[in-house]
């Protein structure tokens, strides 16, 4: 099976794989079905969830009773994570490549990337200064 055929099987909709927007809608809908309050979060924040987050919400929601729709949605998400791993955004990158960049606009993510870059530069500068001080 090709990568797209595998993704089609995971997504359960032959047309969903051709359209990242439909895939995101299906993911967000599944997240809501398992118990996430998706109305309070941006799509970017929803896509930063991983399987641990989904399991925690699913278990809390399941305590109140399972529905067929909830179980199907959980299985859909579980299969995506089992196959691709990471966060939901990582999964989109693995299926769609650079096309997923449109959903990677979360300011917190960008801020954390910049902070890590600055910290790396600071550590490098401290190391260089330490070497110069030892000379």
Assign 3-state DSSP to the chain and report helix, strand, coil percentages, each to 5.
Answer: 80, 0, 20
Task: Kindly list the distances between the CA atom of residue 97 and the CA atoms of 4, 31, 38, 75, 94, in Å, as whole numbers in the listed order.
Answer: 12, 22, 25, 24, 6
Residues 93 and 112 placed together within one structural domain of the fold: no
Look at the chain and report how many structural domains it folds into.
Answer: 2
Cα 23 from chain centre? 12
User: Same domain, yes or no, for 57 and 109?
Assistant: no
Structure tokens at 58: 């699913």
> Are 87 and 48 contacting, i.e. CB atoms less than 8 angstroms apart?
yes
* Whether 82 and 24 share a structural domain: yes
Are 54 and 90 within one domain? yes
Domain with 132, as residue range(s), is 105-135
Give the whole-angstrom CA distance, residue 80 versus residue 28.
13
Q: What is residue 122's three-state secondary structure?
A: helix
Are residues 99 and 110 located together in one domain of the fold? no
Q: What is the pLDDT along the chain (135 residues), one digit of tens a residue?
A: 555 555 555 565 544 567 899 999 999 999 999 999 888 888 888 999 999 999 999 999 888 888 899 999 999 999 999 999 999 999 999 999 988 888 877 655 677 778 888 989 998 899 888 888 888
Neighbours of 39 (CB within 10 A): 6
Query: Taking the complete model, does pTM exceed 0.75, yes or no?
Result: no
- Judgement on whether residues 33 and 78 belong to the same structural domain of the protein: yes
CA atoms within 13 A on the CB side of 123: 6
Q: Do residues 97 and 122 both lie within one domain? A: no
- Say whether both 120 and 67 belong to one domain: no
Same domain, 61 and 43: yes
């Amino acid at each position: 099976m090709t990568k797209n055929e595998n993704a089609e099987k995971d997504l359960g909709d032959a047309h969903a794989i051709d359209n990242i927007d439909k895939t995101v809608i299906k993911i967000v809908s599944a997240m809501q079905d398992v118990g996430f309050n998706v109305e309070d979060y941006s799509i970017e924040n929803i896509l930063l969830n991983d399987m641990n987050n989904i399991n925690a919400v699913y278990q809390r929601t399941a305590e109140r009773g399972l529905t067929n729709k909830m179980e199907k949605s959980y299985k859909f998400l579980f299969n995506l994570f089992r196959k691709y791993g990471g966060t939901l955004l990582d999964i989109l990158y693995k299926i769609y490549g650079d096309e997923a960049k449109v959903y990677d606009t979360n300011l917190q993510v960008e801020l954390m990337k910049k902070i890590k870059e600055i910290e790396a530069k600071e550590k490098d500068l401290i190391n260089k200064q330490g070497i110069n001080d030892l000379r």
